[in-house]
Amino acid sequence: MAKILIDTNVFIKKLRMPQKQVKELLETLLKEKDSYCFTEQNIDEFFRNINKEAINFKNEFSNKKNKNINTMQYDFGNEKDNEKYKSLQEDIKNMIEQYYQEKEKEIDCVTNELKKFFEKLKNEKFYIINRTNDIIYKANNRHLLGNPPGTDKVTIGDEIIWESILQELKEDLIIVSNDNSFIENEDFLKREFDDGHRKLLGIVKDVEQARKMINLPKDENLEKIENKEKEIEQQNYNNWLNDLAEVIQPMANMANDITKAIQPQILQYQMIANYLAEEIKPAINVANNIAKAIQPQILQYQKIANYLAEELRASILQYLNTAGDLANVMPNTELQCPKIDLPQTSNEKNNGVTKND
């Protein structure tokens, strides 16, 4: 019989669901315990993260509460209406406070329901795959090789979960997960898991979808829970879009105000630029006319310069030829230099040497 592995993140997301619906889901899992499997790593991750995620969820509600209260400020311009509004404002604040306090209590109740379920997994004899040193060794190698599942994080939780399944599970498998490291690498994981005796039937996001794949009886309550969770996700997404719009709108308004403020200056600068262009245009035309007027003279001077260069070159060649002819006519002619009496140095006088010698 095929097994369904529900990843830790799926249980963590149930914090956003009403307590009654979460309790019904867990009761369904207990009734069908032979169809599910867990790893020791999943259980550890749940207990490591559940309190932290519950606090984060409470903080989200607290931020929304403060936001809703802070947006209630208004001035009617007269004391009488302001007093009435202030009284009404206090009533609304109390209602908001009460709503969020009840919501925080429900988060605590859901957290406790989930904790109780995980605490009795072993007593209820769910199929749990224990973590071994060999599994950790293989998971670390998988991380070093960069093979999925897993991310670039230092921890190797996803790798340990997958290696636990590979090593111990003999049946077909369906994984329920919101983790992209599983979802985006389904083909790779199927190739690794399928060995002729077992198959990875799929990776899905909903428990009810996994149940249908192995022909478990339809559970209308569970289907309602899954649909409700999708509604909450869509609502959260819409709220995020609204929050984003509220942040962007003041910036857009500011940009419009700035545009309106500088529009006169832009027009003024445009007029100045056009004026300068018109003023410079005659000067450019004059420069062009001057260039056209002196172009013939430039060409004439260029011709004269070329002519003089040729004449100078011819004269130089002529002088060189004359010098060569003279050298050929007087090869043996001795040049007579006049005799010059130079004064003797002190050393020459001492040695009795004369210049004529």
pLDDT tens figures, 150-196: 877 889 999 999 999 999 999 999 999 999 999 999 999 999 999 99
pLDDT tens figures, 225-272: 667 666 665 565 455 456 545 545 655 555 566 567 667 778 887 888
- Token couple for 347: 């050393």
**Given a cut of 60, is residue 334 above it in pLDDT?**
no
Rounded to an integer, what distance in angstroms lies between the CA atom of residue 87 and that of residue 91?
A: 7
Note the pLDDT of residue 337: 46
Rounded to an integer, what distance in angstroms lies between the CA atom of residue 354 and that of residue 348?
A: 7
What is the overall mean pLDDT for the chain? 81
- The pTM of this model reads 0.61
**Given a cut of 70, is residue 51 above it in pLDDT?**
yes
Rounded to an integer, what distance in angstroms lies between the CA atom of residue 25 and that of residue 227?
A: 13
Give the mean model confidence (pLDDT) for residues 298-326: 81
- When pLDDT is cut at 50, 70 and 90, the band that residue 344 belongs to is low
**Which residues on neighbouring strands pair with residue 113, listed in sequence order?**
none
Kindly state the percentage of the chain with pLDDT values over 70.
Answer: 75
Among the listed ranges 25-29, 57-61, 207-211, which one has the minimum average pLDDT value? 57-61
Rounded to an integer, what distance in angstroms lies between the CA atom of residue 147 and that of residue 170?
A: 22
Note the pLDDT of residue 299: 84
**Given a cut of 90, is residue 114 above it in pLDDT?**
yes
Residue pair 166/195 in contact by the 8 Å Cβ criterion: no
Give the mean model confidence (pLDDT) for residues 27-50: 95
Give the mean model confidence (pLDDT) for residues 14-36: 91
**Given a cut of 50, is residue 118 above it in pLDDT?**
yes
Note the pLDDT of residue 249: 61
Q: List the domain boundaries for the chain.
A: 3-218, 221-304
CB neighbour list of residue 96: distance below 8 Å, 6 or more residues apart: 65, 68, 69
Rounded to an integer, what distance in angstroms lies between the CA atom of residue 313 and that of residue 33?
A: 111
In terms of pLDDT, which residue wins out, 81 or 296? 296
Note the pLDDT of residue 29: 93
Give the mean model confidence (pLDDT) for residues 324-339: 57
From the list 210, 11, 205, 229, the residue with the least C-alpha distance to 121 is 11
**HEC string of the chain?**
CCEEEECHHHHHHHHHCCHHHHHHHHHHHHHCHHHEEEEHHHHHHHHHHHHHHHHHHHHHHHHHHHHHHHCCCCCCCCHHHHHHHHHHHHHHHHHHHHHHHHHHHHHHHHHHHHHHHHHCCCCCCCEEECCCHHHHHHHHHHHHHCCCCCCCCCCCHHHHHHHHHHHHCCCCEEEECCCHHHHCCHHHHHHHHCCCCCCEEEEECCHHHHHHHCCCCCCHHHHHHHHHHHHHHHHHHHHHHHHHHHHHHHHHHHHHHHHHHHHHHHHHHHHHHHHHHHHHHHHHHHHHHHHHHHHHHHHHHHHHHHHHHHHHHHHHHHHHHHHHHHHHHCCCCCCCCCCCCCCCCHHHHHCCCCCCC
**Given a cut of 90, is residue 351 above it in pLDDT?**
no
In terms of pLDDT, which residue wins out, 1 or 82? 1
Give the mean model confidence (pLDDT) for residues 199-204: 97
- When pLDDT is cut at 50, 70 and 90, the band that residue 7 belongs to is very high
Note the pLDDT of residue 247: 47
Rounded to an integer, what distance in angstroms lies between the CA atom of residue 149 and that of residue 64?
A: 35
CB neighbour list of residue 187: distance below 8 Å, 6 or more residues apart: none
Residue pair 54/107 in contact by the 8 Å Cβ criterion: yes
In terms of pLDDT, which residue wins out, 125 or 94? 125
Query: Exposed (0-12), middle (13-18) or buried (19+): which is 312, by Cβ within 10 Å?
Result: exposed
Kindly state the percentage of the chain with pLDDT values over 90.
Answer: 39
Note the pLDDT of residue 222: 72
In terms of pLDDT, which residue wins out, 186 or 218? 186
Give the mean model confidence (pLDDT) for residues 347-357: 52
**Given a cut of 50, is residue 340 above it in pLDDT?**
no
